[in-house]
Amino acid sequence: MPILEGEGVTKYFGGLAAVSRVDFHVEQGEIVGLIGPNGAGKTTLFNLISGALTPSAGVIRFQGREITGLKPHRICKMGLARTFQSVKVFPNMPVFENVLLGALFGKPDGVSVAHAAEEATALLEFVGLSAVRSTPAKDLTLVNQKRLELARALATRPQLLLLDELMAGLNPTEVGQAMELVARIRDQGITIFMIEHVMKAIMSICDRIIVLHHGVKIAEGTPQEVATSKTVIEVYLGE
């Protein structure tokens, strides 16, 4: 059974089909990439999965249970966390509290504040933000805000993590560090579904890649298969 699967997932904005009858599946332990030109519907698909938007049609299942149209907080508590393309940290709250909130509210059953604080501290260590734990999140650099979002998502103890352009706007060194971080998260047994434009990153760490174009899935396969697919090359480079 795949950890995440979608059947005929569709979303209309007015008359426009932002996502059109997309079937997809993510297996336990995989890193799956989601690529496509701008406006292909990648972030919309993530929004449908995380509950930020409700699909117009189709079914989404997480660990075998239907989550179509559930509220984001319910989906999060079931074990599905995400980060955002444009970072959405809590700007005026200290870094530590950003992560603490995830640890306090993101799990199916309640935890003590002391326990959540321990977890938050450990996660800040993991993403390398221990030194700035008391800094308001808005004062962090972009790369650190992205790390913070990652730590906050991990604090909810996800089984599956959706990463929306984690590496956009980072310099080559930072991309390398981010890739290493993603690999370490997978090694902890967390499945990863990621949107990415940095091709070097996506080709080297993904087990499988799904390609969207104009809301439709046009290709799927190993990085090798996708990179050599004629349709994909046409979409990216023109005919």
Partner 1 sequence: MDIARLDLRKMWTPALLLIALALFATLPLYASRYLVILLTSIAMYVVLTGSWAIFSGPTGYISLAPAAFFGLGIYTSAVLGRTSPLPAVILVAGLASFLVALFVGALTLRLKGIYFAMFTFGLVELIKYFLLWYEVEFTGTRGRFVVVVDNTTIYYVMFIILATLLLTAYLIRRSRFGMALQSIGECEEAAAHIGVNVNLLKTVTFAISAIFIGMAGAIMATRWTYVDPYIAFNPLFSFMPVLMAIFGGIGRFGGPILGAVVFAYLEETLITRFPYYYMLLFGIVLIIAVVYLPNGLVGLAQILQKRISERRHAHTGR
| Contact set for partner 1, span 30-59 (CB under 8 A) | 50-52
d(CA 197, CA 190): 22
Helix (H) or strand (E) holding 219: strand 216-221
Q: How far is the CB of 92 from partner 1 (least distance, A)?
A: 6
Amino acid letter, 98? N
> Hey, what are 60's tokens?
């989404």
d(CA 62, CA 66): 6
> Hey, what are 95's tokens?
């870094």
Q: How far is the CB of 141 from partner 1 (least distance, A)?
A: 18
| Contact set for partner 1, span 172-191 (CB under 8 A) | none
Whether the Cβ atoms of residue 202 and residue 33 lie closer than 8 Å to each other: yes
| Contact set for partner 1, span 91-150 (CB under 8 A) | 91-93, 97, 100-102, 104-107, 113
Q: Work out which of 152, 161, 164, 209 binds partner 1, going by CB under 8 A.
A: 152
Q: Work out which of 39, 88, 115, 139 binds partner 1, going by CB under 8 A.
A: 88
Q: Work out which of 7, 56, 72, 122 binds partner 1, going by CB under 8 A.
A: 72
Q: How far is the CB of 222 from partner 1 (least distance, A)?
A: 30
Q: Work out which of 11, 42, 77, 217 binds partner 1, going by CB under 8 A.
A: 77
d(CA 198, CA 85): 13
d(CA 98, CA 216): 36
Whether the Cβ atoms of residue 104 and residue 184 lie closer than 8 Å to each other: no
Q: Work out which of 43, 68, 156, 191 binds partner 1, going by CB under 8 A.
A: 156
Of 152 and 217, which has the nearer Cβ to partner 1? 152
N-to-C CA span, the chain: 38
Torsion of CA 55, 57, 63, 67, to 10 degrees: 50
Number of residues engaging partner 1 in binding (CB under 8 A): 30
Q: Work out which of 48, 81, 127, 201 binds partner 1, going by CB under 8 A.
A: 81
Residues of the shown chain interacting with partner 1 in the complex, contacts defined by CB under 8 A: 50-52, 71-73, 76-77, 81-82, 84, 88-93, 97, 100-102, 104-107, 113, 152-153, 155-156
